[in-house]
Amino acid sequence: METVEMNSVSLKRPRSEDDVANADEIKRQKILEKSKTGNDSGQSVETVTEQPDKSLLEDAKNEMIPNEENEEQEDEELEDSDEDGDPESFADMMKHGLTESDVGITKFVSSHKGFSGILKERYSDFVVHEIGKDGRVSHLDDFSVPVDDEDPSEETFTVLSDEDKQRLEELQLLKNKEASVAIEVIEDTKEKRTVIHQAVKSLFPGLETKTEDRDGKKYIIAYHAAGKKALANPRKHSWPKSRGNYCHFVLYKENKDTMDAINVLSKFLRVKPNIFSYMGTKDKRAITVQEIAVLRITAQRLAHLNKCLMNFKLGNFSYKNHPLKLGELQGNHFTVVLRNITGTDDQIEQAMHSLREIGFINYYGMQRFGTTAVPTYQIGRAILQNNWNEVMDLILKPRPGAEKGYLVKCREEWAKTKDPATALKKLPVKRCVEGQLLRGLLKYGMKNIISAFGIIPRNNRLMYIHSYQSYVWNNMVSKRIEEYGLRAVPGDLILKGATAVHIEEGDIDNYTIHDVVMPLPGFDVIYPKHKIGEAYKEMLVADNLDINNMRHKIRDYSLSGAYRKIIIRPQNVNWEVVSYDDPRIPLFPTDLDKLEGKPLPVLPTDGKFRALKMEFSLPPSTYATMAIREVLKMDTSIKNQTQLNTTWLR
């Protein structure tokens, strides 16, 4: 470690993120090169990323970026603002981010020449439809509400005046300072009061009602439920026995991830988020369509949210007796537009035929590893090494690159004082990982980092070690393809049911590369019986880990391992090249466009720009960006895309 003398005080220069990244790269290269004997597959395996024409990308930036800002206007919460941020440009900040080669993504399976294109220039260029366990693709195509005898009467929807509805909506959406709204009961009968109570609760979810006498007149008082009552599970006695306990519906959302969407729905319905269930989470920067189930909330209440919410639509309602379970889906169907493509028709045909016939390497995509200068896999590795001071340091220390201003100030305070209380004061948003860890350190003290780290939600903690597993897997798959190409070889692993077995010499003709799996490291997996098995051990030894002892003294961090196919061949692959002049216009209709009867713009036959519209279906836990990478042969990292002046930003 280098020591710098200054005024007779010895200052040790801390190891920078660049040093760590360089060390990781050197280790990775040693392992990848150690037993390299060349490619004997008989099929070409590309290793060099094509660099797109920068001038074309510059043109795309100049033409297209301004329109994206108009498209994404939405309420900015505190954690989304960055008024205190460093004034350097986003591209400059992303110089410190990861590239694909940093996380082992280095190979291609096809031989075509790459070309450039812009992904997610508009979030509406990336549409995801969930595929249920029955193989049915989720679509939003029906806003109607199922009616049964137990539903409120039609009078419920007409008993309130327009003025009452306006006041109640403002109360519901917290648009004024009123604590309640009083509705005078003109015809004072019990039946009339009951209808008004039902109308308020049905049409304005989240509001409670009570009856009061004021000056000899009866009033229905509407107010926001508060405290535990507001978050209580739906009352059992109010639910008909003949109706399924769960209302299933299709959620169409724009530019929101699934958990954000659930939290918004919960807030408006005044219920806990845990009464919702779903089969998979979907990206933020996209239009996504998926099935959701909610416990004992009527379709009427859900349908009313369509009038209140931006960027969401709910429909295709039905009542069933079961919730949804995470992972029950068959996969997702993607419709993707790559704008301003530079490839020739022949290049595009070759690329798409290869995607359909051969597929792509099933790498874990860049989003698995974070976007800042400290990759999530480094934190995962430190957890597995039981190096808790390193875990704390990696999460809290100052780091170069793209970060919100308050996080920068928090890190600087931590580096200066090592005092959780003063660092925490710099954070207006306490629910970020840094805030949670600091609260843990405040509660348990600096000598009990394990308990402090345990305050972070379990899924977030496990994300770090899963990221490390993914990092190892990506590197080993690149090594496997480098060594043996695109054919199954003796010693490879295949699955028989849920059990992994080695391919024997005599069985080699029964299998192809599409059958081969490779393990994520853990205590309950086996490894290939060829050079790659040794490469796994060497990589973990270089990281001070024992491949034969992947159990951790903290049970949550013990890795059992898993198997993952190395090549994925997408299903239902279709594509077309379209021309366009205006980068602001959508190039295909969404479910909502079809429901609302919006006509599609007429596209020119010889426009200024060309776009590739592609469709394909993928199984769960595969990354569409890796399929697109195989088509374009471009680095999909934010760092690389910003440096190339594209708008390929997630």
pLDDT digits 0-9 by tens, 558-573? 989 999 999 999 999 9
Question: Model confidence at 148, in pLDDT bands (50, 70, 90)?
Answer: low
In a domain, 23, yes or no: no
Range in 14-23, 291-300, 492-501 the model is least confident about: 14-23
Tokens at 125, concatenated: 């260029």
Cα distance between residue 423 and residue 597, in whole Å: 53
Are residue 181 and residue 198 in the same domain, yes or no? yes
In a domain, 16, yes or no: no
Are residue 293 and residue 246 in the same domain, yes or no? yes
Q: What is the CB neighbour count within 10 angstroms for residue 11?
A: 11
Q: Which of 183, 205, 231 is the last residue of a domain?
A: 231
What is the domain extent for residue 284?
Answer: 133-147+239-329
Question: Model confidence at 155, in pLDDT bands (50, 70, 90)?
Answer: low
Q: Average per-residue pLDDT in the chain?
A: 81
Are residue 138 and residue 262 in the same domain, yes or no? yes
CA 488 to chain centre: 33
Are residue 358 and residue 492 in the same domain, yes or no? no
Are residue 137 and residue 280 in the same domain, yes or no? yes
Are residue 222 and residue 275 in the same domain, yes or no? no
Are residue 428 and residue 574 in the same domain, yes or no? no
Backbone angles phi, psi at 125, to 5 degrees: -85, 0
CATH number, domain with residue 541:
3.30.2350.20
Q: Is 283 a catalytic residue?
A: yes
Are residue 143 and residue 281 in the same domain, yes or no? yes
In a domain, 576, yes or no: yes
- Using N-to-C axis directions, what is the helix angle for 458-484 and 531-542, rounded to 10°? 140
Q: What is the CB neighbour count within 10 angstroms for residue 635?
A: 22
pLDDT at 238: 62
Task: Report the domain count for the chain.
Answer: 5
Q: Which of 432, 460, 488 is the last residue of a domain?
A: 460
Q: 0.85 cut: is pTM over it? A: no
CB 269 within 8 A of CB 276: no
Cα distance between residue 273 and residue 295, in whole Å: 10
Are residue 408 and residue 508 in the same domain, yes or no? no
Are residue 138 and residue 280 in the same domain, yes or no? yes
Are residue 416 and residue 380 in the same domain, yes or no? yes
Query: Angle at Cα 243 formed by Cα 242 and Cα 244, nearest 5°?
Result: 125
* Numbers of helices and strands, H then E, in the chain: 20, 20
pLDDT digits 0-9 by tens, 407-448? 899 999 999 999 999 999 998 877 789 999 999 999 999 999
Q: Which of 440, 460, 480 is the last residue of a domain?
A: 460
One of 102, 164, 283, 635 is an active-site residue; which one? 283
Range in 10-24, 340-354, 514-528 the model is least confident about: 10-24
CA 451 to chain centre: 28
Q: Looking at residues 197-217, what average pLDDT do you find? A: 81
- % of the chain exceeding 70 in pLDDT: 79
pLDDT at 205: 67
Q: At residue 326, does pLDDT exceed 60?
A: yes
In a domain, 92, yes or no: no
